Amino acid sequence: MNALTSTHFSFPDQTNVYHGKVRDVYFLGDDMLCMVATDRISAFDVILPKGIPFKGQILNQIAAKFLNATRDIVPNWLLDTPDPMVSVGYKCQGYPVEMIVRGYLCGSAWRAYKSGAREICGVKLPDGMRENEKFSTPIITPTTKAEIGTHDEDISREQILARGLVPENEYKQIEHYALALFARGQEIAKQHGLILVDTKYEFGNYNGQVMLMDEVHTPDSSRYFYADGYEERFANGEPQRQLSKEFVREWLMDNGFQGKEGQQVPEMTTAIVNDITNRYIELYEGITGESFVKAETDDLAARIEKNVNAYLRK
């Protein structure tokens, strides 16, 4: 199985290209972009040395599915998916914050709470909560959208407005959209026997209109629990069964890597790579309720170039 780990396309009307951690964005003309979901995989802000076959296709198709399933809530950037690994859409002016919506106390929020914090991003939390406990209502814990080479930082609503990062009327709109999207995501997850635990959303402005950008409800941007057994595991203080990219981070930590200086990424054997591919397929099928159909991978770059060029010529 081949994996796409780098791209070097030259599309019609291309003006620039940005190579991110896992996606390469090609800017077309004044107001369009072509986003290629590569098979690169990152953890702890580090791109791992081997790509994961079909990962890009899986993330691209999940994102497209949820973008199309939430258009009635908020307009979004997506126009079309001319290739299983490619999305084409509007170039939005992104807001410099990411909206993290949490339905349960876990992850970094739990680690902060366990260390004594009772306020996260300006949101006050009650005493006596336990790991993986459901909040009475979902909360928003925004972060700054980091520049390359820096980490996202927690920020409160009040700080966002005080710094003028987002105009107040637009921020209120973004908050409303984020909570409505999360509610829809929870509904869809429930249909597939899952719990949408937390996720991130990115928004931008296109011609004066607030739009949803980037990926939505994918395993790279979201955490899911299996609904079956949640209550029993919570009552017993046991870890929840997760459907997320967490298994990759756990494998790295078990092998002494957390992205810290001087640490080495453990060897990614063929068996490890194949296992990660199979886990991503499990994620796709669990989240969408559909069987995953593998696209042709003989020459991924040639396939993508042909499909995107045919779309742009239309």
CB atoms within 10 A of CB 162: 9
**Which tens digits make up the pLDDT trace of 18-27?**
999 999 999 9
The predicted model scores a pTM of 0.90
DSSP 233-267: HHHTTPPPPEESTHHHHHHHHHTT-SS-TT--PPP
CB atoms within 10 A of CB 312: 17
| Per-residue pLDDT at 220 exceeds 90 | no
**Which tens digits make up the pLDDT trace of 97-133?**
999 999 999 988 999 999 999 999 999 999 999 999 9
- pLDDT for 268 equals 95
Q: Would you kindly state where each structural domain of the chain is located, as residue ranges?
A: 14-92+267-313, 94-243
Token look-up 């899911």 returns 224
Residue 69 is encoded by which pair of tokens? 């399933």
94-243 classified as CATH 3.40.47.10: no
CATH fold for the domain made of 14-92+267-313? Phosphorylase Kinase; domain 1 (3.30.200)
Same topology, domains 14-92+267-313 and 94-243? Answer is: no
Closest among 211, 100, 217 to 153, alpha carbons compared = 100
**Which tens digits make up the pLDDT trace of 30-61?**
999 999 999 999 988 899 999 999 999 999 99
Alpha-carbon gap, residue 212 to 63, rounded angstroms: 12
Alpha-carbon gap, residue 257 to 228, rounded angstroms: 32
Alpha-carbon gap, residue 41 to 52, rounded angstroms: 7
